[in-house]
Chain A
Amino acid sequence: MGIVNGKNFKGRVSEALKDQELRGNFRKAMDGLMTKRAAQFEDVDEWTRLRALGESIKKRALSKLPELLVQLEENLTKNGIKVHWAENVDQANEIILGILQSHDVKTVVKGKSMVSEEMELNHFLEPHGIKALEADLGEYIVQMAEEMPSHIIMPAIHMNKGQIAKLFEDKLPGTPYTEDAAKLTEIARKELRREFAEAGAGLSGVNFAVAETGTLCLVENEGNGRMVTTVPPVHIAVTGIEKVVENLSDVPALLSLLTRSATGQPITTYFNMISSPRKKGEKDGPEEVHLVLLDNGRSDVYRDAETRDTLQCIRCGACMNHCPVYTRVGGHAYGGVYPGPIGKILTPQLEGLDNYPEHPSASTLCNACVEICPVKIPIAKMLVRLRDENAGNCPHGEHPVKGRGSKSSAVEHASWKGWKAMNANPTTYKVATKAMSKMGNLMPSSLPMLSEWTSVRSKPKFASQTLHDLVKKMDVKDD
């Protein structure tokens, strides 16, 4: 990831926490999204069943991922869709550039695609004289603001109406300041209509790629997805290899989980199923459809039975909406494409722990994300695994995560060894706790760790007698 990375996480967190307006925007937005989602899953039994189904569909698909990808390619090809494989983002960008150049495309209109963010496609195309215009309203706004998305579903959720009104006024000549959401949408719509009609190509992501039928499914609310996939003469879809599902009948359950978890909608406005380029006699649709299948580290994640669960993600963003850390620091603090809980496990696995060293520790393991994930990704378990790897303690040596051991520190290893020596033996435990009861309160607040703690809290007070001591005076047996 060229422009930003995870290394200055703490600096960005600090900035975000100071920005009261940003914090207010997130709090309000996340509270609203949590309420809307909860209303969708009031029936706990239904939620439990649907979620188990969603998990099993994704697990089944992943269990035969290589075969399904081959089947997908065969069926897409049969349908007239051209399939391209990209091992990394450079290859994916080159493939897309090649397609655009062969059609002499100057402007490509884009639907929302996190994979294209992962590729930094827009920046890549710019020096080649190709303009990539975001057509999703949220993406359109962040592109205008020259920012990255701060949420995978709602890219501009960090901004309030006033900030967007000001942005439109500044960047679109002749636009008066208005906080009326309908008017702002109207302005964007007018700008985009012309681009849709003139663009040489459209680019979109993929929500589910169905191996059985060779169908690309695209979920969206604004109609921009339908525009970019039907109006321009060429449509390029990009997706990570984990988005493949086995059968068409797998889609309804996942779709239901996706929309309800993401925005609290029972269903989206548009559900596009793309199965071929325009056929003879058809009035619209692109003449050419391409699919770029991106790996970019996903095979490495796939190789390990434990980390593989990460790839179950259907990109609903519910884990972000429910994360107390994300709610406070916002998406930009993470520095990667995928923020929040899923970002904390996915990004270091794709981009290396050395590039995102703080991600695994930026969680209280409160499990709010685990409770909410519609496909049951064990995010907390994975965070603990990544902490093990970060410290160089990989318990599954055959498939270490990229950048393993990036936070390995001799001092930390020594202190946990000391902690073990104290706690693994009853005698040393008693000696140590006795000493702490007597002297612990004399520790100066300036000690490392304690000073972090006491910056906003009083120093914990050791009791003069431990519970071990007190129970000896009670009518309590020892064994």
Chain B
Amino acid sequence: MSRTYPDKPQSVYFFGTCLVDLFYPKAGVAGIELIKREGVDVIFPQGQSCCGQPAFNSGHRDEAREVARAQLDLFPKNIPVVLPSGSCAGMMHKHYPELFEGDRDYDKACELASRVFELSDFLLNVLKVSLEDKGDPLKITWHGSCHSQREMGVREQPKELIKQLSNVELVELKREKECCGFGGTFAVRQPEISAAMVSDKVDDAEATGADKLISGDCGCMMNITGHMEHRSSDLSGQHLAEFLWERTNGDR
């Protein structure tokens, strides 16, 4: 999957996502700071809420559409919309056209979808950042979310950013491409299968000998770190944006 990237814009919209908003706001702040540091203005429409994915994936398309519709007018300027989540980006980029098929807002939804970028992809391919690592030596591993990988084509971009950090050693998971078992309501509708999947994912992460697991999606993060805490693992998890910001801002 390849897409055409725009030139570096003067300003961008930031869509925080509901999970970031409620559970990981620091990841959102870090994402905004990373963009601003490149001299790009960030606009955060206060009217934003959720992309609509939870209802869409659960079989409640009408509710999903109304929540998605509430976001359509919040990003009127023809500038990129950046999300610190591959999953929500996937919803807006790939599924909005599907969700609004035959609807009066179809064109609007398609236009918005075309401007949606996942944060790491945007930092690397549009802002072309080069990161200066100010942190101590650290070993980490990376979990790429399924929707980031397969709906946004974001596989190597986050790792490329991590590799720019001179003091960070990246050890890849044995089964990096495999789902962590979150899947939104899957985790509660099929709790036993989800538990088996997340447990295998944490086994895999522990086997790398890393100190931290980094991910670009808060759903996966909540699932994986939640299980790490539950089993009192030595590993901790962190969102990519927060990690990159901490490492490069000298902020510990």
B7-62 interface (Cβ within 8 A of A): 14, 16, 18, 20-26, 28-29, 32, 36, 41-50, 52, 54-62
Q: Are B70 and A478 in contact (CB under 8 A)?
A: no
Residues of B within 8 A of A442 (CB): none
Q: Contacts A324-B197, A467-B29, A471-B29; is A13 near B21 (CB within 8 Å)?
A: no
**Candidates B21, B45, B187, B199; contact of A478 at CB < 8 Å:** B45
Q: How far is the CB of B247 from chain A (nearest CB, A)?
A: 20
Q: Which of A364, A420, A463, A478 contacts B25 (CB 8 A)?
A: A463
B151 within 8 A of A: yes
Partner of A467, one of B28, B57, B189: B28
Q: Are A460 and B21 in contact (CB under 8 A)?
A: no
Chain B residues, Cβ within 8 Å of A371:
150
Alpha-carbon separation in the docked complex, A461 to B200 (Å)? 23
* A433 interface neighbour in B22, B56, B74, B195, Cβ under 8 Å: B22
Is A475 engaged at the interface, CB distance under 8 Å to the other chain? yes
**Which of A67-75, A110-118, A176-184, A450-458 faces chain B?**
A450-458
Q: A361 and B185: CB pair below 8 A?
A: yes
The segment from B117-125, B127-135, B205-213, B222-230 that touches chain A is: B222-230
Kindly state the interface size class of chain A when it binds its partner.
Answer: 35 or more
B18 touches A423 (CB 8 A): yes
Nearest chain B residue, comparing its CB with the CB of A18 = B192
A364 in contact with B182 given A10-B192, A456-B230 (CB within 8 Å): yes
Contact of A417 among B24, B25, B63 (CB under 8 A): B63
> Are the C-beta atoms of A466 and B193 separated by less than 8 Å?
no
Contact assessment for B226 and A460 in the assembled complex, using a CB-CB cutoff below 8 Å: yes
Q: Are B63 and A420 in contact (CB under 8 A)?
A: yes
Stretch at the interface among A224-232, A281-289, A386-394: A386-394
Q: Is A174 an interface residue (CB 8 A)?
A: no
Q: Is the CB of A367 within 8 A of B41?
A: no
- Among B26, B62, B178, B182, contact of A393 (Cβ-Cβ < 8 Å): B62
The CA of A471 and the CA of B41, in the complex, are separated in Å by: 13
Q: Is A420 in contact with B32, judged by CB distance below 8 angstroms?
A: no
Tell me if A477 counts as interface (CB < 8 A to partner B): yes
Choose from B49, B186, B194 the contact partner of A423 (Cβ within 8 Å).
B49
Segment touching B, from A252-260, A269-277, A424-432 = A424-432
Does the CB pair A363–B25 fall under 8 Å?
Answer: no
Does B251 interact with chain A (Cβ within 8 Å)? no
Contact A457 B227 (CB under 8 A): yes
Q: Which residue of A lies closest to B18 (CB)?
A: A423
Interface status of B179 (Cβ within 8 A of chain A): yes
A423 touches B70 (CB 8 A): yes
Residue pair A364, B191 in contact (C-beta under 8 Å): no
A420-B63, A420-B66 in contact; A328/B197 too (CB < 8 A)? yes
A175 interface contact, C-beta 8 A: no
With A423-B49, A433-B21, A440-B22 already in contact, the answer to whether A457 and B198 are too (CB < 8 A) is: yes
Q: Are B193 and A362 in contact, CB atoms less than 8 angstroms apart?
A: yes
Which chain A residues numbered 177 to 224 have a C-beta less than 8 Å away from chain B? none
Contact present for B22 and A423 (CB under 8 Å) = no
> Do A387 and B58 have beta carbons less than 8 Å apart?
yes
Report yes or no: B44 in contact with A478, Cβ–Cβ below 8 A.
yes
User: Does A368 have its Cβ within 8 Å of any Cβ on chain B?
Assistant: yes
Query: Assuming the A-B contacts A366-B183, A420-B66, A475-B36, are A457 and B61 also in contact, with contact meaning beta carbons closer than 8 angstroms in the complex?
Result: no
Contact across chains for B150 and A366 when beta carbons are under 8 A apart: yes
User: Assuming the A-B contacts A361-B189, A391-B60, are A436 and B22 also in contact, with contact meaning beta carbons closer than 8 angstroms in the complex?
Assistant: yes
If the complex has contacts A328-B193, A470-B29, are A463 and B70 also in contact, measured as CB distance less than 8 A?
no
Contact check, A364 vs B46: say whether CB atoms are below 8 A apart. no
For A455, give the chain B residue with the smallest CB separation.
B191
Encoded as 1 (CB less than 8 Å from any B CB) or 0, chain A from 1 to 23 comes to 00000000010011001000001
Q: Is A53 an interface residue (CB 8 A)?
A: no
Known A363-B183, A419-B54; contact A461-B190, beta-carbon cutoff 8 A: no
Instruction: Tell which of A363, A368, A384, A471 touches B150, judged by Cβ atoms closer than 8 Å.
Output: A368
Once bound together, how far apart are the Cα atoms of A62 and B195, in whole Å?
Answer: 40
Do the beta carbons of B61 and A367 come within 8 Å of each other?
no
Interface positions of B from 61 to 108, Cβ below 8 Å from A: 61-63, 66-67, 69-70, 74, 98
In the assembled complex, A462 has its CB within 8 A of some CB on chain B: yes
Q: Which of B156-180 contact A (CB under 8 A)?
A: 177-179
Given A460-B226, A463-B25, does the pair A455, B70 have CB atoms closer than 8 Å?
A: no
Shortest A140–chain B CB gap in Å is 30
Q: Does A437 reach chain B (CB closer than 8 Å)?
A: yes
In angstroms, Cα B22 to Cα A467, docked, is 7
Determine whether B188 belongs to the interface, using a CB cutoff of 8 Å to chain A.
Answer: yes
CB-CB under 8 A from A386, the residues of chain B are 59
- Closest residue of chain A to B201, judged by CB? A324
Is the CB–CB distance between B67 and A384 below 8 Å?
no
Check A468/B16 contact, CB under 8 A, given A367-B146, A393-B62.
yes
Taking a contact as CB atoms closer than 8 A, the residue among B28, B56, B69, B191 that contacts A384 in the complex is B56
- B150:A367 contact, CB within 8 angstroms: yes
CB-CB under 8 A for A365 and B57, given A13-B190, A455-B191, A463-B23: yes
Residue A325 lies at the interface, judged by CB distance under 8 Å to chain B: yes
Task: Please name all residues of chain A whose beta carbon is closer than 8 Å to the beta carbon of B177 when the two chains form the complex.
Answer: 368
Query: In whole Å, how far is B209's beta carbon from the nearest beta carbon of chain A?
Result: 21
Interface status of A479 (Cβ within 8 A of chain B) = yes
Contacts of A459 in B (CB 8 A): 226
- A-B contacts, 24 listed (Cβ < 8 Å): A362-B190, A363-B186, A364-B181, A365-B57, A365-B146, A366-B179, A386-B59, A423-B49, A424-B70, A426-B47, A426-B49, A433-B22, A436-B22, A454-B230, A455-B195, A457-B222, A460-B222, A466-B21, A467-B16, A467-B28, A467-B29, A468-B21, A471-B44, A476-B43
Which 3 pairs of residues, A with B, have the shortest CB-CB distance?
A364-B183, A387-B59, A457-B226
**A residues with CB within 8 A of B:** 10, 13-14, 17, 23, 324-325, 328-329, 358, 360-368, 370-371, 381, 384, 386-391, 393, 395, 413, 416-417, 419-420, 422-426, 429, 433, 436-437, 440, 449, 452-463, 465-471, 474-479
Could you list 7 further interchain pairs (A-B, Cβ under 8 angstroms) beyond the known A433-B22, A476-B42, A477-B41?
Answer: A10-B190, A364-B197, A365-B147, A367-B147, A367-B150, A371-B150, A463-B23
